Every structure is written in C-alpha cells, then in structure tokens.
Copies of this chain bind each other. A is one copy, B any other.
Amino acid sequence: MTYQRVALIGLGLIASSMAHAMRAHGLAGEIVGYAKSPETRAVAKDLFCDRVTKSAAEAVKGADLVVLAVPVGVMGEIAAEIGPHLKAGATVTDVGSVKRAVVDAVTPHLPEGVHFIPGHPMAGTEYSGPRSGFATLYQNRWWLLTPAETCDPQALARLRGLIEGMGAKVDLLDVAHHDLVVAVVSHVPHAIAYTMVGVADHMRRVSQSEVIKYSAAGFRDFTRIAASDPVMWRDVFLTNKEAVLDILGRFAEELFVLQRAIRMGDGEHLHAYFTRSRAIRRSIIEAGQDTAAPDFGRAPPPAERA
C-alpha cells in the first residue's frame, strides 16, 4: 500500500481508471471520491469509490494523496476550497493536460507542508465519465510529472511509486517544456482534427451522409480524436494558449507550403515530403507507442489472412 487514503476530486475517465488500477494493485487503503454531480457520485460509489462526499473539502480530510482530476479551468477554484482542509504532509497532484496554468492556479492556495507535484497522465480514450474507466488505461503509458526544484524527494518518490504501480512510466519535465511538447503531440493534433470535422460538417456540396458513409478513408481517424470531452479541451486551449498558437502558426505555414506544391504541381516536393513522414511513423512503432498492425488492428490479424 502506497497511500492510506486517496481523495479523487473529479470522477471521470482519468480518476475512475486510477481507482480501478489502485484497487487492482492494492496501492491505496481507502479511496474517497468527490464530483459535482450527484449522479456521478452515485456511479462512483457503485463502481470504484469506498466513499463519496458532497464537497471537495470533505473528501480531502485526512487524505495522504489528493488527486485533482477536474477540468483545468476549475483547478484553482477547487484548490481554494480544499486548501484549508488538507492534512499536513499530504501530497496534492493533478492530472491536467496543461501544467503552467495549473501550477499558477493551484500553488497559491496550498498551505505550507503540503507537497504539490503537478502531473499529466498521457493516456485516455475518446470516452469520458465515471463509467468509462478501466484498470489498464495507464499500462505502459507515460505519466509526466513537473515538480518544482524545491520538491520534497520523498514525496516525489512515493507518488512515483503509486504511478508505476498502476503500470505507467514516469518522466520528469520542466513545466514550460511540458506545455510545448504536449502542444505538438496532443493539443494541436486535436485542434486540427476538430477543424477537419468542422469542414466536413459545413460542406453543403457534399452531403453529410456521404462523408459519414465513406469516412473509413481517413476522416474517421480525425473524428475519433475530435470526440473527446469538450470541456476538457476548451480548457486546454484556453490555458495552453501560447504554445498552441505557436505550433498552430507553424502548422499553417507548413500547410501553405504543401498547398503551394499541390497548386504548382511540384511532384518532387510532394514525394520527398511524404517519404519523410513514413520514417517518423516507423520510429513511433519502434518506440512501442503504437501497434504495427495495419489500420490500428482494425484489419484482421495476420493469422486470418489469406
């Protein structure tokens, strides 16, 4: 057991998967949960919490670890509410996809003697809510931590133990660097996917049913990542604005270069460009970050093939 009592504030995909994983590996004594919605609390009580409370302040009382698993935009408000009720020596972490904004919003509300270790589990599905969690979500996934330089090494080691106990791999990053890296690998890809879905939605010359009917040709992959929780993503874009706008600007430039090559009929440029991206895909498979199965494994396994 890593923590006697863990309080989960917010009970969606990330928190519920943590609860399932902590149970599966015997990492927490008691799991206490809080969510704004009474329905969510009831589901959580049923499925993965020992106890749920009607306020965040109540949930964190006596907890050794408090996990802020709410949208980034409400982290500050929650921190202000729980601050006075935190146990001395407790660790507070969060699971927000953005770190600068969370650090700025949360830190001022935490009393001395409480260890704040910002975190970001890089795992998820396009589903959300307390029923969407499962114990293996973090298996072999990265969980980034962005502790301050002054962070207590023992508190950090303990949290790391919990995370690794759930099957994830921990990396430590600087806050600003974290926010830029995730803008590239996650935030801007999501913005682009939302945009492509938006284009299809507005096409008047191509009926929506055709776009959906023939979506297997590439478009459906965009809709998957564009199906994630709207509140979470709104907050991500509002709070990682600088890095996202930086990368979006680069993307727009790059897109115009490609667009120009298409307009000019520059086949050599296109071929060279497309060839490079194959190599990157290969690196990702080699790094163990995706399956090499065709079509993400949607296609039948090799054994079934003719």
**Chain A residues engaging chain B, CB cutoff 8 angstroms:** 20-21, 23-24, 48, 73, 122-127, 132, 134-137, 141-142, 144, 171, 177, 180-182, 184-186, 188-203, 205-206, 208, 210-228, 230-231, 233-235, 237-238, 241, 244-245, 247-248, 250-252, 254-256, 258-259, 261-263, 265, 267, 270-271, 273-278, 280-284, 287, 289-291, 294-300, 302, 304-306
Contacts and interface: CB of A to CB of B under 8 A. Distances in A.
A261 B245 CA distance: 11
A184 B212 contact: no
Contacts of A259: 191, 245, 248, 252
Stoichiometry (number of copies): 2
Contacts of A223: 277, 280-281, 284, 290
11 contacts: A21-B306, A126-B295, A127-B294, A136-B305, A189-B221, A194-B273, A194-B277, A198-B276, A201-B280, A212-B283, A241-B263
Nearest to A241: B262
Given A296-B297, A305-B135, A306-B20, A206 B234 contact: no
A214 to B, nearest CB: 5
A251 B199 contact: yes
A228 to B, nearest CB: 8
Contacts of A20: 305-306
Most buried by B among A185, A282, A297: A185
Contacts of A180: 205-206
